[in-house]
Amino acid sequence: MRNHTLLTDLYQLTMMNGYLKNNIADDLVVFDVFFRKNPCDNSFTLIAGIEQVIDYIENLHFDEEDITYLRNTKLFDEDFFEALKNFKFTGDIYAVEEGSIMFPTEPILRVKARCFEAQLIETAILNILNFQSLIATKAARVCEAAKGDAVFEFGLRRAQGPDAGIYGARAAYIGGCAGTSNVLAGQMFNIPITGTMAHSWVQKFDCELEAFRAYAKIYPHNCLLLVDTYDTLNSGIPNAIKVFEELKADGYVPTGVRIDSGDIAYLSKEARKLLNAAGFTDVKIIASSDLDEDTIYSLKMQEATVTGWGVGTNLITSKSCPALGGVYKLVAAEENGELVPKIKISENPEKITNPGYKKVVRIYDEANQHAQADLIMLEDETIDLEQPLTVFHPLYTWKKKTFKKYHIRELLVPLFEGGKLVYERKTTQQIKAYATKELHSLWPEYRRLNRPQTYKVDLSQKLWDLKHEMVKSMRDE
């Protein structure tokens, strides 16, 4: 694990120095990580990157070369460097399980720590969670469009740098992809790797049939041929069938063909007819070529006979929505030994933060186990499960919903307590399985690609009252 301690914005360090100079560096503060808008016009965000946040926190320390670099900036004095020499995270971090489905304004990670520590970690935590959650959500959309077909992440060559390619592949796998072309990501996270051939392979040989035969000879157990280098239907598929017949005669089962250009709907249907007529009804047809969820949805509506999808640029970059706007906001601070709620005011009501030390509760229907609504509450609040529970819209308060047969689940779990890791680390496969379960807990109305239903996220009465009292108090000053 690389030392990412200096993966931060300069103002985090200058504020840390300011806290030190004002003798408040040891005061406790609470920060929430949340986002205000789902990416890609989605109704939810799939959270990824928690394991990398854990790695980051566990490796936080200032090397001598870090201190030397900062000393050369001439911005800090030796007292600051002395504090950095012994720096380590000693606070508490609670977060949702990686792979959780979350919604705008909800805390997905909560930090309670000394000012000096909590300020430093903002930038890296947002960098990690924003990107991976964005790609995981995009992948979930692509897989939703594919309706059970296998989706493969093919985006490494178009990713914004090596780290984006590696951790984007991880996030895409968590979001539902069956595998990746990225070999390093496969090695690091035990993700299935997949791939066939490039057009250059076919071009290198004197003819397409020779290229196919050469590939089949090397990989008879997994022969998947790229058929669109010259002419998909008049050359590629017929030559593939010849090679498949030779493989079959030798006792092997052909795997499939890949179409990387042209009218995928038309070509796949015609290719399926030719393959079926030749007796290769089980041969797969894989499509690639700048696909995204909208294109795949359209091709499915056109009854394209594609059984697997290779998705690259539009997935690894989330091209239609290039960033998730997660933020890290102060919600409580120590004053005279007590944590006092803090709030950020804005002319835009949606940007007014929810103050205080909070938790998130998800409400499930007892009959079908589907998620019904989320409730953001102050940490000391409880819910009496023997009584009906009424929630209301935090802005349009006349909109109410009462639950009678329900159960609840608190979403924030401890990662670090007193600076010590208390969380049981998960494999990428376990996280993917959990994400799948989370997606299935949502009604289809929330998962649809276009104009999905908005999921209910409400505030408890106590939190709502606190928020509005604080807004009124500050406006009256």
99 membership: H or E segment, kind and range: none
- Domain residue spans of the chain: 10-135+324-476, 136-316
Sign of CA dihedral 245, 247, 250, 251: negative
Q: What are the pLDDT digits (tens) for 18-75?
A: 999 999 999 999 999 999 999 999 999 999 999 999 999 999 999 999 999 999 999 9
Q: Which residues contact 261 (CB under 8 A, 6 or more apart)?
A: 228, 232, 289
Amino acid letter, 177:
C
Give the pLDDT confidence score for residue 2 in this predicted structure.
75
Query: What is the helix (H) or strand (E) element at residue 338, kind and residue range?
Result: strand 338-341
Q: What is the pLDDT along the chain (477 residues), one digit of tens a residue?
A: 678 999 999 999 999 999 999 999 999 999 999 999 999 999 999 999 999 999 999 999 999 999 999 999 999 999 999 999 999 999 999 999 999 999 999 999 999 999 999 999 999 999 999 999 999 999 999 999 999 999 999 999 999 999 999 999 999 999 999 999 999 999 999 999 999 899 999 999 999 999 999 999 999 999 999 999 999 999 999 999 999 999 999 999 999 999 999 999 999 999 999 999 999 999 999 999 999 999 999 999 999 999 999 999 999 999 999 999 999 999 999 998 889 999 999 888 878 999 999 999 999 998 888 999 999 999 999 999 999 999 999 888 999 999 999 999 999 999 999 999 999 999 999 999 999 999 999 999 999 999 999 999 999 999 999 999 999 888 776
> How many other C-beta atoms are found inside a 10 Å radius of the C-beta of residue 294?
15
DSSP classification of residue 354: P
What homologous superfamily is domain 136-316 in, according to CATH? Aldolase class I (3.20.20.70)
> DSSP letters along 187-199, please?
HHHT--B-----H
48, 133 Cβ separation under 8 angstroms = yes
**SS3 assignment, position 232:** helix
| CATH for 10-135+324-476, options being 3.40.50.2300, 3.20.140.10, 3.40.920.10, 3.40.50.300 | 3.20.140.10
Cα-based distances in Å from 107 to 134, 305, 374: 16, 42, 11
Rounded Cα gap, residues 365 and 171, in angstroms = 29
**Reported pTM:** 0.96
Q: Which two tokens stand for residue 356?
A: 């205080």
CA distance 149 to 147: 6
